Amino acid sequence: MGNDILRVRVARITREAEDILSYELVAAEGGALPAFEAGAHLEVRVPGPGDFLRAYSLCNDPEETHRYVITVSRDAKGRGGSSAMHERVREGDALEVHAPRNNFPLLFARSYMLVAGGIGITPLLSMARMLERTGANYSLHYCAREPGRTAYRELLSQAPFTERVRFSFDGGDPSKGLDVKELLATRLPGARLYCCGPAGLMKAVRDAATLHRWPREKVHFESFTAEGTSAATGREEQGFEVTIRSTGQVLQVPAGQSVLNVLRRNGVRIPSDCEAGTCGTCVTRVCDGQVDHRDTFFQAEPAGDQRMLVCVSRARSKKLVLDL
Ligand SMILES: Cc1cc2nc3c(=O)[nH]c(=O)nc-3n(C[C@H](O)[C@H](O)[C@H](O)COP(=O)(O)OP(=O)(O)OC[C@H]3O[C@@H](n4cnc5c(N)ncnc54)[C@H](O)[C@@H]3O)c2cc1C
Ligand code: FES
C-alpha cells in the first residue's frame, strides 16, 4: 500500500436528497485521521468489478479530525463509480482512500462569495462551515433544480446559515435560476469568489466575473468532470491533430472532445480512472508538440511538454505526437 493510502470504515450513511447519499468515514483502526483543508477531496477506491477510483470532496468542517464526510450524487449516465458507491457500500464496510488533496484552497480574503450548483455544494459546504466558525464575512448562493434534489437544504436553511445562504431553484431551466450577472455586479473590497458546479454555471460565473472586472486571481473554480474543465480554466477550446508515433495514424481532436475519447473511439486504449485530470492514471508521453495542461494533478510538479494527461489536457500547437 502506498504511503498516502488510508483504511477507513463507513460509520454512517445518510440520505441527503433524492439520489444523494453522504458517508461518514472514520479511521479503521480508530483514532484521528490526517488533517484536511476546506476544498480538499478524497480519492476513494470504489468496490466492485470496475475497481473505480473516484474523487469526492470533503464536506465537513476541517476542524474535525475524527471523521471525513463525503457526499455522492448518483450519476446514471456515468461509468458506474457513483452507482457502485450507492449500491455496494454499506455501513460498517472498510474502504481504501487516498489521503486528502486540495486543488481548491480557500485563500485569505476580506469577504467570500461562494456559488454552488447541484452536487458542487460539497467543497463549498466545508468552506461555509469553516467561514461560519471563524466569523468570516461570506455568502453562499446555492443553485439547484428543485428542493427535493438539493443536498443539505435543511441544514443550510437553519441557523447559523439562514442569513448567509440563498437558494435558487430553476426547475431544470437555467434561465429561470440565479441571475449570475446581477450577483457579480456587486464586488465587496477584497472579496474572493469560489464556484463549483456544472459547466454551464461555471461558464456563466466566469463570463460575469470578466464583465464586472473581477481580478482573475480572485475567482476560483473546481470542476468535477472533464467537460467542466474548460469552463473552469476559462480557456477557449480549439481543435488539433494527434499522431500515434508507432503507427503514424493521425487523428483529429475537435473542440469539446477529449484526446482520451478520440483515442478510445479509434481503438487506442489508454488506462484511465477519474477522467477529470486529478488521478494521473492516463499520463501519456509526448514526443513532439506543445501541451496545454488542464489537469490539477501536475500542479505541484510542472509536466512540461514531455507528458500529458489525455483525459483533460489539450494542445497549444496545431499537432501533438504521442509516444503510443
Ligand atoms: C475534485 C473532485 C471532487 C469531486 N467531488 C464530488 C462530490 O463531492 N460528490 C460527487 O457526487 N461527485 C464528486 N466528484 C465527481 C466524482 O468523482 C465522479 O466523477 C462522479 O461520482 C461520477 O462517477 P461515475 O463513475 O458514476 O461517472 P463517470 O464515469 O465519472 O461519469 C461522469 C460524467 O462523465 C461523462 N462521461 C463518462 N464517461 C464518458 C465517456 N466515455 N465519454 C464522454 N463522457 C463521459 C458523463 O457525462 C457522466 O455523466 C468530484 C470530482 C472531482 C474531480
Ligand atoms: S484519468 Fe485521471 S488524470 Fe486522466
- The whole-number pLDDT of residue 1 equals 40
Instruction: Spell out the domains of the chain, with CATH numbers in brackets.
Output: 5-101 (2.40.30.10), 111-233 (3.40.50.80), 240-322 (3.10.20.30)
* Ligand 2 mean position, distance from CA 275 (Å): 4
- Three-class secondary structure assignment of the chain: CCCCEEEEEEEEEEEEECCEEEEEEEECCCCCCCCCCCCCEEEEEECCCCCEEEEEEECCCCCCCCCEEEEEECCCCCCCHHHHHHHHCCCCCEEEEEEEECCCCCCCCCEEEEEEEHHHHHHHHHHHHHHHHHCCCEEEEEEECCHHHCCCHHHHHCCCCCCCEEEEECCCCHHHCCCHHHHHCCCCCCEEEEEECCHHHHHHHHHHHHHCCCCHHHEEEECCCHHHHHHHHCCCCCCEEEEECCCCCEEEECCCCCHHHHHHHCCCCCCCCCCCCCCCCCEEEEEECCEECCCCCCCCCCCCCCEEECCCCEECCCEEEECC
- The whole-number pLDDT of residue 227 equals 64
Probe target for ligand 1 pocket from 18, 25, 54, 269, with the most ligand atoms within 8 Å of CB: 54
- The whole-number pLDDT of residue 232 equals 67
pLDDT tens per residue, the chain (324 residues)?
446 899 999 999 999 999 999 999 999 999 999 999 999 999 999 988 777 789 999 999 999 999 999 999 999 887 789 999 999 999 999 999 999 999 899 999 999 999 999 999 999 999 999 999 999 999 999 999 999 999 999 999 999 999 999 999 999 898 899 999 999 999 999 999 999 999 899 989 999 999 999 998 999 999 888 666 666 666 777 899 999 999 999 999 998 889 999 998 899 989 887 788 877 889 999 999 999 998 878 866 677 899 999 999 999 999 999 999
Cα separation, 259 vs 130, in Å, equals: 38
Q: Does ligand 1 have an atom closer than 6 angstroms to the CB of 224?
A: yes
Q: What is the pTM of this model?
A: 0.86
* Ligand 2 mean position, distance from CA 282 (Å): 5
* Ligand 2 mean position, distance from CA 216 (Å): 26
